[in-house]
Structure 1
Amino acid sequence: MIILIEEKKMINEIILNQGIQLIDVHSTDDLNDADRATLIEKYALTNEILDYADDENERARFEYDELNDTYLIVYNVQNENNQTPDMSQRVLPVSFAIKGQQLFLFTNDATHYLKDYLLSAKNHLKIEAQKEIWEFIFNTLDQISSDYSDQISEADVQRNHIQALIKKHHSSENQILELADLEDLTTYLNTAINGNLTVIKQLDLISSGNVQDLHLSKTAREHLHDSLIEIEQIKNQVDLTSDIIDRISNTYNNILNNRTNTTMKVLTIYTIVLSIPTIVSGFYGMNMKLPVADQGWSWVFSLIITVVIILIILWDLHRRDSL
């Protein structure tokens, strides 16, 4: 019996609305030669655009290829698997290319959920806004920003939990590791959001008329301005979260250092106190004449001396605020 397995297409064409076409380029690994040839020959994309889109370490950027009239946006988004242990993989770049009325989306398995954002965009856009391809992009960028806000809120919940344990003196090595993970996470989120903010600012700048090649409607420019305000608020949010986590980490280190100092102080006091009986009994164990050493109650005398010396030492430590 022959079993036919339908091969999943990597490049799919989807009609968004009003003649706007989404070219969904979903790759598990790097773009292969056949896919590159298709994108170059059929859709007239350049190798430079594809190199940017295919680089998993590409920083957030906005580019315009004047010769081919193609816009490229590289944007940082969150990994769909937000529980991945590798913090550097929590944030990944995706690429949008705009050529005429065609919108190209380059994603992998961890970021392919953005296609759903684009498909659902028309549910959030007014009828007149659905005619403009940039409105679909701005709406998707807004949803990406909302994802960051949710992730930061989750980090705040974890941070509050750790902070409560520290206040209750239930801190342990687990809290140290969790704080370290939160510090790493907020660092990557901060870097990603700053990169995205730079892209939005570039778009806002060129849409103001300094670059004549990007023509946005009044509605689209207002939408872009709202997106800029939102991502600036998220940047402030992640900055605040990161600063608080750093302060908690420093406080935790101070608490641990203070506990260590207290432990060492107690051990030192015990060492001093316990050394007194050894010293006194050592004297009376020597083969030499000592006061009342030949009396039957001399051992009581040695105990009295020991207790007196211990009390004097404890009094002196208390006087120096060392207890």
Structure 2
Amino acid sequence: MLQIYKSMESGPLQELTLKTLEKGAWINIVDPTPYELKVVSNLTEVDSDFLRSALDDEERSHTDVEDDSVMVLTNVAICRGQDSYDVLPLAIIVTEEYIITVCLEETPVMAEFNERTAKLFRTYKKTRFLFQILYKSMTFYLRYLRQISKLSDEIEEQLRHDMKNSEILRLLELQKGLTYFNAAIRSNGAVLDKLMRMRNNPQLTPILKAYDEDEDLLEDVIIENKQAKEMVEMYSKILARMADTFTSIIANNQNLVMKFLAAMTIIIAIPTVVSSFFGMNVPVPFADDGHGFFYVMIIAFGISVSGAYALWKKDMF
């Protein structure tokens, strides 16, 4: 999918086509075809490798400078379900005339830049627009981390009452999402630090024109990234300790069950042993007594009760 927009001076977004492409336009490419990549590369004179960078879902965050374009590849957070979180590469390419975004899927980050929010950004202010995209990406990390915190509290409450495999698997899914977030936020932080250093590079001044407001926005992005980093580390430790705690509880419960079963086995074995003695094919007490069976039962019951009491005193029940 290929969409082209340009901010008008009055505020709204103007939708363009490849034939009416103008300077200052934003080219948004989602899951592109080879033809779309080739056409955009020819029209904007951007290296096709830049455009294809975000099409590898395992690509790490980094920056590249080539000819008259700067590419910032960042990982954005996405939610794939109730407990499933992932990250996806998003390439933001800035040239002297255009800003281009490339991604494999529609993301909530880029969906925030639309007709409704058109007055909050300008496509022709490319450096500021770049920092606004990065800032919005960080806000989604923080939003999803708060969701993970609430979900972990919900899972903990349910596990306190009933330990189901489904809840433990949900906990595992959240841990996996935090692992993805941790790696992405760390690499995004390195990219932001590099952008901070690049802003004073005279060779990149025509491309990344940074004003005081833009630098303040970049500093805000760095602060948000550090906050997300601290949160993901904290939540990762909490979830790991929660998993260890419930693993210990499950093991302890299993030990209690095994201890109870061992005690019950001992108690049940006592009548078996007594009846075995009196069932021998030799002269035994009460053999000629008409009430012998009841005597044997009383003896077995008495020994079982005594054994049960002894085991209870040893906290086997």
With structure 2 as the length reference, what TM-score do the two structures score?
A: 0.84
Deviates more, 1:245-254 or 1:10-19: 10-19
**Aligned Cα RMSD in Å?**
2.7
Matched, 1:222 2:248: no
2:4 to 2, 13, 28: 13
2:15 aligned partner: none
Point out where structure 2 has 5 or more consecutive residues left out of the alignment. Answer: 10-21
- What percent identity do the matched residue pairs reach? 23
Distance 1:84 1:94, change over 3 A: farther
Corresponding letter in the other structure for 1:234: A
Deviates more, 1:261-270 or 1:294-303: 294-303
Matched, 1:303 2:297: yes
Distance 1:12 1:131, change over 3 A: closer
Distance 1:280 1:170, change over 3 A: same
Matched, 1:179 2:171: yes
Distance between the aligned counterparts of 1:276 and 1:36, measured in 2?
A: 82
Matched, 1:213 2:203: yes
- Once the two structures are superposed, residues 164-183 of structure 1 have per-residue CA deviations (whole angstroms, 9 ceiling, x without a partner) of 1222x223122122112112
1:50 CA drift (Å)? 2.5
Matched, 1:39 2:40: yes
Matched, 1:262 2:256: yes
1:20 CA drift (Å)? 6.3
1:135 aligned partner: 128
Q: Equivalent residues in 2 for 1:1-323 (5 A)? A: 10-16=1-7, 21-28=24-31, 30-32=32-34, 34-65=35-66, 68-79=67-78, 82-83=80-81, 87=84, 90-111=86-107, 114=110, 116-117=112-113, 123-124=119-120, 132-167=125-160, 169-207=161-199, 209=200, 211-215=201-205, 216-323=210-317
- Once the two structures are superposed, residues 190-211 of structure 1 have per-residue CA deviations (whole angstroms, 9 ceiling, x without a partner) of 222222222112212333x4x4
Distance between the aligned counterparts of 2:111 and 2:309, measured in 1?
A: 75
Distance 1:117 1:24, change over 3 A: same
With structure 1 as the length reference, what TM-score do the two structures score?
A: 0.82
Across the two proteins, how many residue pairs are aligned to each other? 301
Deviates more, 1:270-279 or 1:18-27: 18-27
Q: Is the 8 A contact 1:121 1:136 kept in 2?
A: no
Distance 1:120 1:222, change over 3 A: farther
- Once the two structures are superposed, residues 71-104 of structure 1 have per-residue CA deviations (whole angstroms, 9 ceiling, x without a partner) of 001111234x63289x58x321111001113111
Deviates more, 1:45-54 or 1:224-233: 45-54
Corresponding letter in the other structure for 2:163: S
Point out where structure 1 has 5 or more consecutive residues left out of the alignment. Answer: 1-9
